[in-house]
Each structure stands twice: as structure tokens, then as C-alpha cells.
Amino acid sequence: MHKQETLSFEEQYKDVVISFSPFVLHSTGIIQSQTSLKVDTYTLACVPYQISMSRAVLIGSFTKEEIAFFQRFKGALAGLTLTVQGAIVKEPEKIFCRCQVSAVGLMKGRDRVGLIVCDFKPIPPALAKILGEHLLGLDKLRTQWDDFRDKAIQVNPESSQKLGYNNYAVMACGSEQHKLALYTLAVNRLDFLMPMRSPDIPVGTPVAVSLYFRKYRFTVNGKVESSLRLPTGVQKLRAGIGFSPELCDLMSDYLFASSIAARRA
């Protein structure tokens, strides 16, 4: 059964590339700082940058001379060791991946940041299961995003405590950044206030809002759907936002806990 499940994950998600983020690290349990790649007699300290069922892209701090040296190992066999902290186990687990180095180079526009691409030969079942369960959970969150649309939560001390919201948010609009006061929150929209001296933000303006929670710090992208200057001079805005796995995960936990509490009342 375990083998069939692993093969199913490999087939179902064979073309999906996962870019590492705080959400991915939390979901998979992969500890980025405890990753190593052994090539020939060399052990390289690196961190996962992207990963799929067929390959891993690693980044590390290398000089141009070091990159030129390690390019001679293109096509060589290598051993990638990942460290994973499971949710229900105390000790981290090490997963060894046999792979082949397919590319070595510098990241475009970044000095001293090297990229190493390793093709799995093949992906270890334990890693395929971790990635598959993460992507399965992501699919579930996308479904929940549709279910949770417009289910707005009033942001107050009680809800902030339950959500783990740190009552801090910053909106980037063009080259400028503005602190804002969030007062309602949904998976598809944010309602917030901006200070009296804030510039007018017209409807249709693209924005990026960074939200600070205990569990995650993340940015959501969207557009201003309504903008109103109140008599006090404070600006009231609503921004429609796209799917954010972090926000949907937080809202899912909050709404589930609220439904349980309502049943017990």
C-alpha cells in the first residue's frame, strides 16, 4: 500500500515544482540549514531552493572560482542529505537521496550565490511521500479558498489572539510602503484603514500587503477594489487578493475552531 501511494504521488505531481517558503518548510518539515551534498570527496553546505519529484535545485555561497571547479562534476553521481522534522516525532529524520549533478552555475544577478541542480536516481519513497502530502494539502487549501470566500473575520483582540495575528501589516504600493490597520480579513479580501496623511490610493491600484502572524510572515498580492476618504481624513480601503496558502491555512484553523466552539455552546 505504501509503495502504491508513493508511486501515485510521483505520477500525480510529477510536473509540479515546489519553491521553498516559510509555508513549505512548515508543511514539509524540511530543515533548510541541515542540508548537504556530497560530490566525489567534497561535502557542500547548501539549502534547497526548489524541489520536485524528479530533481532538487540547491543554492549555496560559492565564488566564481569554486563554481568553475565544481562544474567538472556535471554528470557525476552525488549524495544529497535532507533533514526533516516530522510533526509527531521528537528527533529529526535524515533522508538520503542518490542523484546526478546536471548543472552547476551562478544565480543570475547574484554574486557568490551558486545553483546546483541534482536529478534524483530515483526520488526516495520517504521524500516522495513528504512532497506528495504537502501538495495534497495545498490542493485541499485551494478548495477551501473557494469555500471560505467572503467569510470575513472582524479583527479585534480576541480574533487576533486566536489567529496569531501580530497586529502589524504593511502595504507596498509602487515604490512606497505604508503601515495599515486591518479591521476585517477574508481569504479573498482585506479591509483596512490608512493614516490621515496617506496619499489617495485609487481603485484598481496593484498592491502587495505583508501580514505578520506568529505562525507565518507572508505577502499577499491584489488590487484595490474600493477607496474612500472618511470625514476624519482616514482612508478606508478594500483590496481583493488571490490565493495565499498561508492565509488560507490560518483561516481554516480559525474557522474550524470557531465551529467546534459553536457546537459546544
3-state SS string over 129-187? HHHHHHHHHHHHHHHHHHHHCCCCEECCHHHHHHHCEEEEEEEEECCEEEECEEEEEEC
Which stretch of DSSP H or E encloses residue 114? strand 113-120
| pLDDT score of 5 | 55
Give dist(CA 74, CA 116) in Å, integer.
9
pLDDT in tens, 45-73: 999 999 999 999 999 999 999 999 999 99
pLDDT in tens, 123-177: 999 999 999 999 999 999 999 999 999 999 999 999 999 999 999 999 998 788 8
Non-local CB neighbours of 34 within 8 Å, separated by 6+ positions: 82, 83, 92
User: Which residue segments constitute the domains of the chain, with CATH numbers given?
Assistant: 2-146 (2.40.10.220), 149-264 (2.40.10.220)
The rounded mean pLDDT for the chain is 92
How many other C-beta atoms lie within 10 A of the C-beta of residue 52?
A: 17
State which amino acid sits at residue 208: A
Give the rounded percent of residues in the chain with a pLDDT score beyond 90: 82
114-129 mean pLDDT: 95
Of 129, 135, 109, 107, the closest CA to residue 46 belongs to: 107
Between the alpha carbon of residue 217 and those of residues 22, 61, 158, 211, the distances in Å are 8, 25, 20, 6
What pTM does this model have?
Answer: 0.87
- The beta strands (E) that lie in 174-242 are given as 176-179, 181-186, 189-194, 206-213, 217-229, 235-241
Of 187, 201, 107, the closest CA to residue 150 belongs to: 187
